[in-house]
Structure 1
Amino acid sequence: MEKDREREMKIAVTTTRDADESLNHKAKDVSKDLNIPYIKRGNFSIKKTILKDGFDYLLVIERDKIVIKGEDSTVFWHPNMSELKIKSIRQGNKEAIIEATKLEEGNSILDCTLGLAGDSLVFSAVVGEKGYVVGTEVNKYIAYLSKCGLETYNDVDGKTIDNIKVVNESYENYILKQSDNSFDVVYFDPMFKEPNRKSASINSFRDFADHKGLTKEILMEALRVCRKRVVIKERQGSNEFEKLGIKKYYGGKKNGAIIYGVIEKNIQ
C-alpha cells in the first residue's frame, strides 16, 4: 500500500533559485538515485512551481541539505531531540526509551520504523562502536533524506555516524527474511492514531509515513528475530497495547504521554 502511495505521489527534484552548476549536477544525481524527474528551477516560488508543473512535492537541493517541499509543508533531515536525549543519558538521567529497550554497549537493534532516524541516533550513541542499528524505512524519499543526513552528520562528540544502516524496505518484508535471534532488540514506533496537530514537522511528515498498525502476527515474527525483547512506542491512553496484549511499559502516566511497551523474549 505504501509503495502504491509513492507511485501516486508526483515528486520532482529541483534546486534553489541561485543554484550554480555544482548544485544542478547534484540535483541531477539525486533524480537518478530516486528515479524521479529533474526540473531546472526558474524564477518561481515553490508553490507556483508545484502548481505550474502539476507536482505534489518538490525535493529541493539546497547548499547544506535536501528538503521536501509541498505547497504548505517542509520536511528535511535533522537530529531533532536526539542530541538532548543523548546528553541526558550521559548525565545519568533515566530516559524511558532506554529503560524499555535496556540497550547496552555492543548491542544490536532493529528499528523497524526509522523515519528521520531520531530514535536510531539515540540507540547508536548507547550501543557505541561495537554495536549497530539497522533501520527500515518503507518510503524511499524519507529513507533517502535519512541516509544522506546521517552520512553528513557529526554527533554530539563531533564524530561521524557509522553504526546505523538505512534499509529502504517495509519492516514486514525485512523481518521475514531475518534468521532467529538476529538482533538483541526489535523496536517499533508506528504513527499514532491520534496525531499531535501542534507539531508542524510531524504533520508535514504524515503524508510520507506508513499509517498501518501493528499486528500480533508481526510481533510474533519480531519476537522470533530478537534475542531479548520487542519494544513498541505509543501514547498513554491509547488502547493499542491492550489490543496487542502488552502489559509492561515505561514512560509517563498522564493521558497522551509517550510510553514504551515491552514484550520480553523469555516470557513469550
Structure 2
Amino acid sequence: MTIKVLLTGAAGQLGQALQASCPSSVELVSTSRMGDGLLQPLDLADAQACRAAVFQHRPDWVLNAGAYTAVDHAEQEPDLALAVNASAPRALAEGLLETGGRMLQVSTDFVFNGAQGHPYRPNQPRDPLGVYGATKAAGEEAVEQILGAQGRAVTLRTSWVYGPVGRNFLLTMLRLHREREQLNVVVDQVGCPTSTITLATACWALMKEPQQPYLPPVLHWCDAGAASWYDFAVAIGELGVAKGLLQRAAVVNPIITAEYPTPAQRPSYSLLDCSETRQLLGLHACHWRVALEQVIADVES
C-alpha cells in the first residue's frame, strides 16, 4: 500500500536523511523554504502557505521535520521562531483536520528544564527554559489540541541531532579539531547524541505502523547511552582520527556551563526515556558511539 507523505525541512540534515531512506512504498513530496531542484518551496514562516500545501497535496501524513533550530538566535528573533516552530505546525494540523491526514511532528528535549536528573518520559509536563524550547512546546500543544483527540498526530521528541551533512556539532567539532590544538567543551550538560540515520529510521517505522485508530500523542526517540558535550567532542576526535578524517585530534578540555555563557539557557540534563517507542516500533537501541561511527563513515573528508 502506497502512502503519500508531505515532508517539510527537506533541505535540512534530518530532511536529507529522510529522503535518502524513504521506503519504496512512500510517495514523497519534499519541501524546503526556498525550494531547490526536486524540492518544492514551502516557507514555514507563512502559515497560509502551510495550510495551502496540505490542501494541494492532501497527504496521508505530514512529516514536519522543518524547524527554527538556532537556539541562541531565537532569543533575538522570538517572533520568527514562534512562526516556524508553533504557527506552522498549527496550520499544518488545521489543514489535516479537514483533509483527513495524519501528522508526525518532530520536536526536542529542550521542552524540558533539565532539572530532574533522570530520563524524561513522554507524558511529563513541559517546562522550557528559553525561546526555542518554548516555541517548540507551543507547536506540540497546537498539534495535540487539533489532532490529538482523534489519535491522528504524534510528536516525536529527540535530542542532540547530528548527521554527515548540514550544520551540527559533529561537523563543527571535526573542523575545530583540524584548526586548533586545544578545545574547551562543556562537561556539565548531559543528554544523548542522536544520528539523523537512526532518527529517520524511527520516523519511517512510525508511519508504517498499521492504521490503528489511535497514536500515542507523544513519543521519544534518541540513541542509547548518555554523554556530555565534552564526551561527544572527545569521541568525535578519536573516531575522526580512526576513520582518516583527522591527522590528529585536539586536546579537549572540560569546562562548566558558567565558563561558556550563551544567550539561551540550556537544560543541564535532557535524557529521554525511549522505551515506549522502541517497544511500539520493534526497534533496537543503538549506542550513540556506535551510531557516531556509522555517521563519520559517511562524512566526506
TM-score by length of 2: 0.32
Q: Specify which structure has the bigger relative contact order, considering alpha-carbon pairs within 8 angstroms and separated by 6 or more residues.
A: 2
